Chains A and B, each alone.
Chain A
């Protein structure tokens, strides 16, 4: 178990974190590549970039949208995101990880133990509520696949195990085991990020601008499609 723990918080952490960064970076690169390909062939290049940037930021704090439609899911999701983003990055113990594991030297503000507890429990509760909504709301259920359910379960595990590690009285197995599961489950998320919808963390600006961008067609596309499919005798 000792070796697992050392391996998990050392080389495996660096490997999986790097994998996540490279994987997400690849997705961004591919999106930009596609957009450049379109850009070079677009005649109408008046894409309202500023408006879409403002919209992307607005949807990070979508106060106007939360309670109008599907309020339970929307508010829960908003709180869930705050909890799962703030805790892993700003926890004191994780700060040491950024420093030692990745060599990041600068000091970020860290959150104290009580706030961490509150956010961790918040992450677990909101995560489970979202899972319940997905199971019991027929509209969400109709479009949910395996990963929609699985990711919600997977993302709760590091929070549960992390909470137990911080409150050893809750331990039902050895501390080392719990810590190892905590680290491995977090690393599982790193690995899954580029391959599942978790990639939305880097893709949301691209989906946001997609409507304004992709409606501006490359002008010669449809003619070439028609010719390729129907030959020179293209008609209506």
Chain B
């Protein structure tokens, strides 16, 4: 069933006189599966009340509702607001919609104030506006770095989407994939069945033999190994080079028999991070169950930002008694390079290379230095984007929005604009982005804006440069 929100937009990037002005009518239709009918206001408040009662969000809402200074410093850092200039794209504006509803319905002072002044009621219209706003935001959390109070507007977007999903409003694209991952026969978001997985792996192993001359394998269902490996499952179809790079690194460093992929679950993707905490829980549980079945010591996530962050942050929470340490494949490659177990040829990559920091692994400072150490080890012409590291701009497709094809125009024209400017300014040919979602978004941006660039994963380049003894 289609649409709850429709909008047309008149676009003009702010203050960019040297660029041709973009004048596009954008219809952002949000396709929703099984949308709620009836009294949505009650449904929203009921969902909100249950979440406040059973989860830990109440404390953060209390703090933010009292100490938000309304200074708008968050705007100076938002990839979306810098281009659209619209009030509704101010992170604090979006957060305050939720805080106002919270105060009005869930605090004594707010309820008293509404009795006296008679305003501030939640309406169906507000729900529509809020829903649209929540999916314009990618929850990249760059705004949090500029807020003097340290308010995490990404956490508020996360909470807003959680409330909406519990009352029946969530993106169809994300839901359909998640239903397949949790209840479908293939147990992954791309609906790749095991026979197709095995065929793909056979093909990759043949390719690897041709490229490297080595017999590199993807070990399936091996028990008791150090690493259970979970890539973004879409990599099997879309990012062959990245996966081959992953396998090559394991082989080259003496870890060929220390990792495995499980055929009951080979998908690190976790859309629960984007729209629902219960889904987040269930997907983590499924992942941890597989690692447990394989009797692996650790969980390794492939090149995927949100999969890495979901596992890193939430295996310790929802993994419960089966939790294991979580490692990102870049951390592993970095360690191997430092220990001298991985050797890379500095004469292979002749083109200029730049690096895009995926928000989910860079914003907290977790994976910032490691990929740079690796790249500078074998790339002669490496340039940084500005800004970079923990302050990097979102690709424009974060927070699950890259999977929502209906907002392609929005992502290309508005959300991804700052990124395009950044990429152009580097003059680079290779843009390295170790995140499955960023890869999709950046490839689409490169195509759409006709940039002379190639988007690659980090392990794609590593594969080209590995020195085989």
Contacts and interface: CB of A to CB of B under 8 A. Distances in A.
Interface stretch (A86-94, A113-121, A161-169, A200-208): A200-208
Contacts of B55: 217-218, 221-222, 225
B67 A207 contact: yes
Interface of B: 46-47, 50-51, 53-60, 62-64, 66-73, 75-77, 81, 87, 90, 92-93, 96, 109, 141, 144, 146, 148-152, 155, 166, 175, 178-179, 182-183, 276-282, 313-314, 316-318, 320
B58 A197 contact: no
Given A143-B96, A215-B313, A207 B64 contact: yes
B57 A214 contact: yes
B178 to A, nearest CB: 6
Contacts of B182: 236
Given A77-B71, A218-B55, A236-B179, A70 B76 contact: yes
Interface string A199-236: 11001101111110111111111111110110000111
B101 to A, nearest CB: 15
B149 A207 contact: yes
A38 interface: yes
A145 B70 CA distance: 9
A62 B67 contact: no
Contact of B62 (A31, A143, A228): A31
Given A59-B148, A200-B69, A210 B87 contact: no
6 A-B pairs with least C-beta separation: A34-B59, A69-B76, A221-B55, A211-B152, A222-B277, A142-B87
A27 interface: yes
A16 to B, nearest CB: 19
A210 B71 contact: no
A65 B76 CA distance: 12
Contacts, number: 176
B54 A73 contact: no
B317 A216 contact: yes
A225 B51 contact: yes
Main secondary structure of the interface of A (DSSP, over half): helix
Contacts of A235: 183
A99 interface: no
B364 to A, nearest CB: 8
Contact of A38 (B56, B67, B72, B150): B56
Given A74-B73, A137-B72, A211-B155, A142 B93 contact: yes
Interface stretch (A7-15, A39-47, A103-111): A39-47
Contact of B70 (A35, A55, A197, A209): A197
Contacts of B152: 210-211, 214-215
Contact of A214 (B59, B81, B317): B59
A229 to B, nearest CB: 5
A29 B90 CA distance: 31
